[in-house]
């Protein structure tokens, strides 16, 4: 959190290595309800695949649009009690589905997957595995614009402080190996790399995949930066390299895939790095859909008015407004900040000190970019100041002396450009 | 149902390095004191009056402009006080009060606020104001005349004027060590080079000024002055003399390094600084002005946007051929 006394040195933020004596994750019992946030807007869903009052079995897909790939996996059996619209980031129209847990019925397990697991195909993977903890994303394989050449399994955590992915590499390399074998089989891509921090290289060797070391300095573990290493030859040749050539899976997702095929049961527990106000770090394991308050309760933690609860890491996470927020398949980390730690941004203009330019890992002229963004000239920002090269690491805002929310400006600009593009193609 | 907890919602990142404009301003102010306090000791109460008036007026102009433009009050960030201080450092101790009133008006209103405040100014505000004053009322900046009533135990002649008028031989009596510890006359904050050097080093180490600019400015000045001296040692004084007299070190550490008017990329910073040093000596040695630092910095400020276009290629640049 601090600037180095020797200010001519670039600030160095390093990823944390998982402790050698990592204890078992704390288990969080589900009290009464599970909640799922689905990307499909309620009003566009058409005929709902689920209705209030429906019984849900453990492991069943919770969805409002049948077979859309947009679903959550119910961690426990229960009954749907509420389906309502939910407003996500950048005014995203989403839907929340609440399930009242019925402990008595918890034995009821959805066995649809069990019957299908003998035929591991891409279509089946997309149908059954996308809701697994770690959120494996198979959509790139179905996108005709993409030509996937390699798969990278991320054994590193993208944001600071988190050790979720490292935990799976450290303790569950066997199921990662199984998962990688299955991924090879269903995608037909044999170039699989496992990206790990240096201290896990030896463990990672057992995975059967190519091992790639990721630097410990933030933001080396950002997927876009890892891509450059995987496809180093093409980068040198000056070819356009984007995520379209590489598919990413988190170590947790691959491990879950492995476990699913080994046992026939879909894993429904999500591992989360939980960091309390005093910086105390714990790994917790909670059913998909568990609301934050259950975790707080299980860990004896409290939050008060004015505190900040962040889903995701300190650099790129999302602050939530309610303790009702559920653990989802891609929730790797929950960070609680006391109200006294909340740093205020300001509306002072850029002073051109250049700290952001020196911090940027992809050499964006941030000082120019922010001038366009503050004037809401998003197209000019994309054309003249490399807006789209941004990998969203948040370092520019971290070092900003006038404390301009540059990162938020960038995300807003990208969102607005997307929207303008969508409106154009609509018209 | 209990009242839901009101959490703070904001955007990422949720950490900050802790840097702040005001911290930077106050650190630079602190560094200037190393040169200003010996200056006050040398020139006495009149110098204190000039420094105080300049800082106070700079802050008052800033406040007036904040009200006139209906923008947030910005004197708290310390930049106005810093500009007032830097302006005062360049003045002789006997500067009349109205010159300071006009000068600080140019510093804050013309140099900074009309461009939209801190960060918008294309020139260093204090340098701009100084250039205006030197061209308008040059006689007040003749240090020999301004400080004529002082009694010093060293040669009370402005060294740069001496070398300009009578050649390098005339300044042989100034030893470099005397110059370094302030046995020379000059501006309130520029006649004690040792303090400027220590202050500058402190700021470079803390990262409040960019070492690339300061060092390249000094190197540019040194190399150019040395080349002149080699070509004609009788007319042109040595490089060390040039570095330790006039506004050289103030320019290198405090004026050329101003954020808004200087480049941010590595190579541009080097070019910018070296160009400034080169121009300063050119103006001193073959121009009409006694000290070239002020005009040299104005010129490199002007060139800054063009120089700063030299920058590393963005990684993963996405080219849209649509």
* Contact in structure between B275 and B213 (CB atoms under 8 Å): no
- In percent, the amount of chain A with pLDDT more than 90 equals 25
**Sequence-distant (≥ 6) Cβ neighbours of residue B322 within 8 angstroms:** none
Asked if A9 reaches chain B (Cβ–Cβ under 8 Å), the answer is yes
pLDDT at A3 over 70: no
Residue pLDDT, tens place only, B136-172:
998 999 999 898 889 888 888 899 988 888 888 888 8
Cα angle, residue A322 at apex, residues A317 and A323 outer, rounded to 5°: 90
Largest CA distance in chain B: 92
- Interval B96-120 mean pLDDT: 94
Is ipTM over 0.90? no
Predicted local confidence at residue B320, as pLDDT: 44
Q: Say how far apart CA B126 and CA B190 lie, in whole Å.
A: 14
> Which residues have CB under 8 Å from A236's CB, separation 6+?
none
**Is A197 in a helix, a strand, or coil?**
strand
Q: Which residues on chain B are in Cβ contact (under 8 Å) with A318?
A: 12
Residue by residue, DSSP assigns A2-31 as ---SSTTSPP--BPPPPPTTPPPPEEE---
Vertex A290: Cα angle to A289 and A295 (nearest 5) = 155
Closest-CA distance, B61 to chain A, in angstroms, reads: 19
Q: What is the CA radius of gyration of chain B?
A: 21
For range A15-44, the mean pLDDT: 82
Q: What is the pLDDT of residues B2-27, one digit of tens each?
A: 677 888 888 888 888 888 899 999 99
> Tokens in use for B288?
């009409």
Q: Are A72 and A39 in contact (CB under 8 A)?
A: no
CA–CA distance, B4 with B170 (Å, rounded to integer): 82
What residues in B contact A347, CB-CB < 8 Å? Answer: 72
Q: How confident is the model at residue B279 (pLDDT cuts 50, 70, 90)?
A: very high
Other beta carbons within 10 angstroms of residue A117's beta carbon come to 17
Average pLDDT over residues A370-399: 91
CA B59, CA B226: separation in Å to the nearest integer?
41
Using pLDDT thresholds of 50, 70 and 90, give the confidence band for residue A242.
low
Burial group, residue A51, by CB count within 10 angstroms (0-12, 13-18, 19+): exposed
pLDDT at B123 over 50: yes
Whole-number CA gyration radius for chain A: 22
Rounded to whole angstroms, the Cα distance separating A376 from A412 reads: 10
pLDDT score, position B1: 52
Mean pLDDT taken over chain A: 85
Backbone phi and psi for residue A377, each to the nearest 5 degrees, phi listed first: -95, 75
Identify whether the C-beta of residue B170 lies closer than 8 Å to the C-beta of residue B222: no
How far is it, in rounded angstroms, from Cα A23 to Cα A221? 24
Distance to chain A for B162, nearest Cα, Å: 38
pLDDT at A368 over 80: yes
Judged by a CB distance cut-off of 8 A, whether residue A335 touches chain B is yes
Which residues are CB-neighbours of B175 under 8 A, at least 6 positions away?
none
What token pair was written down for A366?
């941030």
pLDDT in tens, A87-131: 888 888 888 889 888 877 656 677 777 777 777 788 878 778 888
Judge contact between A223 and A242, C-beta under 8 A.
no
Distance from the Cα of B77 to chain A's closest Cα (Å) equals 10
Q: Please tell me the distance from the alpha carbon of residue A326 to that of residue A313, in angstroms, as a whole number.
A: 16
Instruction: Tell me which residue of A150, A148, A242, A229 sits closest to A196, measured CA to CA.
Output: A229
Percentage of chain A exceeding pLDDT 70 = 92
Contact A353 B204 (CB under 8 A): no
Rounded to an integer, the average pLDDT of A272-285 is 89
pTM, to two decimals: 0.89
Measured between alpha carbons, how far is A10 from A16 in angstroms, rounded to an integer?
19
Structural domains of chain A sorted by starting position, each given as residue range(s) with its CATH number in brackets: 28-107 (2.40.50), 115-263 (3.40.50.11540), 269-341 (3.10.20.90), 355-426 (no CATH)
Q: How close, in Å, is residue B301 to chain A by CA atoms?
A: 13
Between the two ends of chain A, the Cα-to-Cα distance in Å is 47
**Burial class (CB within 10 angstroms; exposed 0-12, middle 13-18, buried 19+) of A91:** exposed
Residues A85 and A97 sit within 8 Å (Cβ to Cβ): no
Over residues A216-236, the mean pLDDT reads: 75
Contacts with B315 from chain A: Cβ below 8 Å: 228, 361-363, 389
For residues A87 and A425, what is the distance between their CA atoms, to the nearest angstrom? Answer: 24
Q: pLDDT band for B270, please (50, 70, 90 cuts).
A: very high
Q: Tell me, yes or no, if A342 comes closer than 8 A to chain B by beta carbon.
A: yes
Residue A18 has pLDDT above 90, yes or no: no
Task: Report the C-alpha gap between B11 and A150 in whole angstroms.
Answer: 33
Model confidence pLDDT, tens digit, residues A154-185: 999 888 888 899 999 988 899 999 999 989 98
- Tell me, what's the pLDDT at B321? 43
pLDDT digits (tens, 9 = 90+) for B255-269: 999 999 999 999 999
Instruction: Give the pairing type, strands A333-337 and A269-275.
Output: parallel
pLDDT in tens, B199-221: 999 999 999 999 999 999 999 99
Q: Specify the range with the lowest mean pLDDT, choosing from A231-240, A349-358, B245-254.
A: A231-240
| DSSP state for residue B138 in the 8-state scheme | G
- Which pLDDT does position A280 carry in this prediction? 86
Give the Å distances, CA to CA, from A111 to A136, A313, B125, B262: 20, 35, 74, 66
Number of Cβ within 10 Å of residue B274's Cβ equals 21
Nearest by Cα to A162 from A213, A221, A206, A215: A221
Question: In a mutagenesis test of the B interface, which of A348, A356, A407 is the best target, namely the one with the most B β-carbons within 10 Å?
Answer: A348
Contact list in A for residue B320 (CB cut-off 8 A) is 388
Q: Residue ranges of the domains in chain B?
A: 21-140, 155-307
Q: Is the pLDDT of residue A145 over 80?
A: no
Say what the pLDDT of residue A116 is: 74
Cβ-based neighbour number of residue A318 at 10 Å: 16
* Closest residue by Cα to residue A227 from A150, A279, A146, A293: A150
């Amino acid at each position: 959190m601090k600037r180095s006394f020797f200010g001519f040195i670039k600030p160095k933020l390093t990823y944390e290595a998982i402790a050698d004596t990592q204890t078992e994750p704390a288990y969080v019992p589900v009290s009464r309800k599970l909640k799922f946030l689905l990307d499909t807007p309620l009003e566009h869903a058409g005929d709902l695949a689920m209705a209030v009052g429906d019984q849900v079995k453990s492991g069943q897909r919770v969805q409002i649009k049948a077979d859309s790939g947009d679903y959550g996996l119910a961690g426990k059996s229960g009954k749907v009690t509420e389906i309502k619209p939910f407003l996500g980031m950048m005014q995203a129209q989403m839907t929340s589905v609440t399930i009242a847990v019925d402990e008595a019925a918890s034995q009821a397990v959805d066995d649809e997957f069990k019957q299908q697991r003998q035929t591991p195909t891409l279509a089946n993977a997309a149908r059954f595995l996308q809701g697994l903890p770690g959120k494996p994303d198979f959509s790139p394989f179905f996108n005709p614009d993409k030509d996937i050449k390699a798969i990278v399994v991320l054994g590193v955590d993208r944001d600071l402080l988190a050790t979720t992915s490292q935990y799976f590499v450290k303790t569950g390399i066997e199921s990662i190996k199984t998962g990688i074998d299955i991924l090879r089989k269903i995608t037909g891509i044999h170039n699989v790399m496992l990206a790990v921090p240096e201290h896990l290289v030896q463990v990672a060797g057992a995975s059967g995949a190519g091992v790639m070391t990721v630097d410990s300095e933030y933001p080396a573990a950002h997927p876009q930066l890892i891509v450059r290493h995987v496809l180093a030859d093409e980068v040198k040749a000056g070819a356009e390299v984007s995520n379209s050539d590489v598919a990413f899976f988190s170590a947790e997702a691959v491990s879950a895939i492995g476990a699913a095929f080994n046992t026939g049961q879909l894993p429904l527990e999500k591992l989360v790095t939980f960091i309390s106000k005093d910086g105390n770090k714990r790994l917790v394991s909670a059913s998909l859909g568990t609301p934050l308050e259950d975790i707080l309760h299980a860990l004896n933690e409290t939050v008060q008015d004015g505190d900040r609860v962040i889903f995701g890491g300190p650099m790129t996470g999302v602050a939530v407004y309610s303790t009702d927020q559920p653990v989802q398949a891609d929730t790797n980390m929950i960070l609680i900040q006391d109200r006294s730690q909340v740093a205020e941004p300001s509306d002072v203009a850029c002073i051109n000190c250049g700290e952001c330019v020196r911090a940027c890992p992809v050499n964006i002229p941030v000082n120019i970019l922010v001038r366009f963004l503050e004037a809401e000239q998003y197209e000019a920002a994309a054309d003249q100041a490399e807006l789209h090269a941004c990998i969203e690491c948040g370092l520019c805002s971290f070092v900003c002396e006038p404390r301009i929310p540059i990162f938020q400006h960038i995300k807003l600009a990208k969102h607005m450009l997307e929207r303008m593009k969508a409106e154009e193609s609509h018209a | 149902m209990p009242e839901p907890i009101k959490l703070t919602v904001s955007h990422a990142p949720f950490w900050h390095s802790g840097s702040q404009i005001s911290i930077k301003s106050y650190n630079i102010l602190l560094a200037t004191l190393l040169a200003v306090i010996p200056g006050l000791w040398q020139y006495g109460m009149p110098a204190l009056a000039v420094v105080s008036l300049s800082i106070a007026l700079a802050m008052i102009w800033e406040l007036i402009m904040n009200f006139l433009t209906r923008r947030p009050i910005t004197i708290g960030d310390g930049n106005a006080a810093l500009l007032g201080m830097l302006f005062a450092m360049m003045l002789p101790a006997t500067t009349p009060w109205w010159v300071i009133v006009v000068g600080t008006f140019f510093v804050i209103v013309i140099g900074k606020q009309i461009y939209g405040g801190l960060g918008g100014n294309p020139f260093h505000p204090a340098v701009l104001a100084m250039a205006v004053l030197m061209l308008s009322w040059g006689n007040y900046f003749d240090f020999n005349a301004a400080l004529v009533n002082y009694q010093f135990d060293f040669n009370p002649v402005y060294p740069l004027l001496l070398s300009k008028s009578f050649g390098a031989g005339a300044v042989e009596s100034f030893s470099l060590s005397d110059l370094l510890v302030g046995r020379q006359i000059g501006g309130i904050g520029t006649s004690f080079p040792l303090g400027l050097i220590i202050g500058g080093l402190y700021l470079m180490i803390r990262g409040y000024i960019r070492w690339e600019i300061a060092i390249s400015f000094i190197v540019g000045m040194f190399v150019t002055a040395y080349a002149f001296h080699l070509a004609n040692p009788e007319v042109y004084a040595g490089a060390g003399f040039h570095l330790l007299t006039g506004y050289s070190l103030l320019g290198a550490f405090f004026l050329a390094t101003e954020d808004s008017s200087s480049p941010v990329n590595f190579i541009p910073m080097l070019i910018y600084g070296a160009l400034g040093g080169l121009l300063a000596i050119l103006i001193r040695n073959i121009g009409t002005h006694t000290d070239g630092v002020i005009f040299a910095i104005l010129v490199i400020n002007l060139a800054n946007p063009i120089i700063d276009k030299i920058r590393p290629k963005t990684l993963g640049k996405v080219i849209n051929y649509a």
